Amino acid sequence: MATWFECKVKYDKMTEDGSQKTVTEPYLVDALSFTEAEARITEEITPFISGEFKVTAVKRTNTAEIFWKEGGDKWYKVKVNFCTIDEKTGKEKKTPNYMMVQAIDFKDAYDVFMEGMKGTMADFEISQIVETMIMDVYQADLSGAPKNKE
């Protein structure tokens, strides 16, 4: 199971009008530790940023799974509650999980999520879908080499 870290990167970005603006952008990285997450994001974004940049924050996220969509340019966080029955009390128990979905818009995020959940035996309900500020998601492949699943 992947461990996802949100890494914030601060750098000077050229705006459409030609001026420079300092921005801080969040990225999601699959890594084993905080140190590896910082090294991975540095390696991944170096080719795309001219000039200096700084990794200003690295934090572990509660992301359980990623749903990819070719051509999706936004990232949505889906809070899903898995419903189970407590055998001792007979009461329904809801366990929250958070998934990231790559999509074009809100409706597409819902559709991509539902397609990804096809065949799931567990009962679940979606309690929230929120567009995030995540710029990109970097997943490690099985060989350990960095891989972006765009």
Q: Which residues contact 113 (CB under 8 A, 6 or more apart)?
A: 67, 78, 80, 99, 101, 126, 129
Residue 1 has pLDDT above 60, yes or no: yes
Answer with the residue of higher pLDDT: 145 or 30.
Answer: 30
DSSP line for the chain:
---EEEEEEEEEEE-TTS-EEEEEEEEEEE-SSHHHHHHHHHHHHGGG--S-EEEEEEEE--EEEEE--TT--EEEEEEEEEEEE-TTT--EEEEEEEEEEEESSHHHHHHHHHHHTTT--SEEEEEEEEE-----EEEE-TTS-EE---
* Other CB atoms within 10 A of residue 116 CB: 17
- Render pLDDT for 47-88 as a digit per residue (tens, 0 to 9): 999 889 999 999 999 999 999 999 999 999 999 999 998 888
- Render pLDDT for 90-104 as a digit per residue (tens, 0 to 9): 899 999 999 999 999
The C-alpha atoms of residue 34 and residue 5 are separated, in whole angstroms, by 8
Per-residue pLDDT at 146:
45
Per-residue pLDDT at 145:
45
Q: What is the mean pLDDT of residues 42-50?
A: 93
Q: pLDDT category, 148, cuts 50, 70, 90?
A: low
Q: pTM for the complete prediction?
A: 0.87
